[in-house]
Amino acid sequence: MTDLSTRSPTGLKAWLTNENPESHLQASCGRAYYAWLDFAANRLALLGLIIVGLLVLVAALAPLLATASPIAPDLQSRLLPPSADYWFGTDELGRDIYSRIVYGTRLTLYVVVLVAIIAAPVGLLVGTSAGYFGGWIDKVLMRITDIFLAFPRLILALAFVSALGPGIENAIFAIAITSWPPYARIARAETLTIRRADYIAAIRLQGASAGRVIWGHVVPLCTSSIIVRVTLDMAGIILTAAGLGFLGLGAQPPLPEWGAMISSGRKFLLDQWWLASIPGIAIFVVSLGFNLLGDGLRDVLDPKSGD
């Protein structure tokens, strides 16, 4: 066994693990490095990260990876089974399912990222304000949250989409509107435990405004639980988007949205199984990836699991 303590590391690792960092950047990188070591020790979380990374990569390189146009029909080659030419077969209009899946990653990512960007900050803002100020602000904000929580997510999203009209943007908006309340609840609960802390009292004693306290001191401690929750919710968001697509209220034809692909493949399920199964498998794999990633992040980021 080699004695690790006497061997002084050099280069990047030494810079990262330095006990006396020279700058804020180095300190933050060092902290991130230790978090990464924790994360990398969890094999399943790594698998989740790889799946999500692949999703991003495929979405970015879709034009290079696709072997055919995802929307141009070719009625000569309808409903062909998987083969060397058509890896995942073709659908009822002769479109290459592999290319549609590849381009579908863009729509999936689009939905997931936009929902996260809209819903998480709204939830964070509402929750931290309610928790920090308390009193009637808390009551008003939380009752609004309760109203949104009272509806099942898909039903409320359905109502919004039918009011706004079908389409991928409206579907995203509807999902975002229905997914912020849990984040507000989490952020409020976290804030309630933080706001009586001495470090909050200390910064208030230095004249900090409420905005500065919330943004600089409360939010950083809430974000990790929100990030974990958002990542775990990603699977649900993908499924809701696919569900709306399946019901014809999400992405409209000929967009290669996975839920819509399942919906149109349903008619051929018994004889041409690949039409519905391949997008189904894609949704399953991506959802699984996000769930595994979320589990791993929870272990690393949870502020209550050590420091």
The verdict on 40 binding other proteins (CB under 8 A) reads: no
Let me know: does 267 contact 218? Beta carbons within 8 Å: no
State the Cα–Cα distance between residues 51 and 72, nearest whole angstrom: 28
The verdict on 22 binding other proteins (CB under 8 A) reads: yes
The verdict on 203 binding other proteins (CB under 8 A) reads: yes
Measured in whole angstroms, how far is the alpha carbon of residue 130 from the centre of its chain?
25
- Total binding residues for other proteins by CB under 8 A? 27
The verdict on 35 binding other proteins (CB under 8 A) reads: no
Nearer to other proteins, 7 or 24 (CB): 24
The verdict on 21 binding other proteins (CB under 8 A) reads: yes
90 pairs with which residues across the strands? Answer: 96
Contact with other proteins (CB under 8 A): which of 198, 270, 271, 304?
198
- Residue 116: CB atoms within 10 Å: 20
Nearer to other proteins, 87 or 133 (CB): 133
The verdict on 303 binding other proteins (CB under 8 A) reads: yes
Contact with other proteins (CB under 8 A): which of 33, 204, 248, 281?
204
The verdict on 24 binding other proteins (CB under 8 A) reads: yes
State the Cα–Cα distance between residues 288 and 233, nearest whole angstrom: 11
The verdict on 9 binding other proteins (CB under 8 A) reads: no
Of 65, 235, 214, residue with least CA distance to 126: 214
- Residue 202: CB atoms within 10 Å: 11
The verdict on 205 binding other proteins (CB under 8 A) reads: yes
Residue type at 102?
V
Contact with other proteins (CB under 8 A): which of 20, 63, 136, 165?
20
Which range of residues in 95-103, 167-175, 206-214, 238-246 is near other proteins by CB under 8 A? 206-214
Nearer to other proteins, 23 or 76 (CB): 23
State the Cα–Cα distance between residues 184 and 225, nearest whole angstrom: 11
Q: CB-based contacts of 46: which residues, under 8 Å, 6+ apart?
A: 39, 40, 296
The verdict on 307 binding other proteins (CB under 8 A) reads: yes
Let me know: does 76 contact 225? Beta carbons within 8 Å: no
Nearer to other proteins, 29 or 247 (CB): 29
State the Cα–Cα distance between residues 181 and 219, nearest whole angstrom: 16
Residue type at 9?
P
- Burial (CB count within 10 angstroms: exposed 0-12, middle 13-18, buried 19+), residue 135: exposed
x/- string (CB under 8 A) for other proteins, residues 214-243? --xx--xx----------------------
x/- string (CB under 8 A) for other proteins, residues 139-178? ----------------------------------------
Which residues of this chain interact with other proteins, rule CB under 8 A?
19-24, 26-27, 31, 197-199, 201-208, 212, 216-217, 220-221, 303, 307
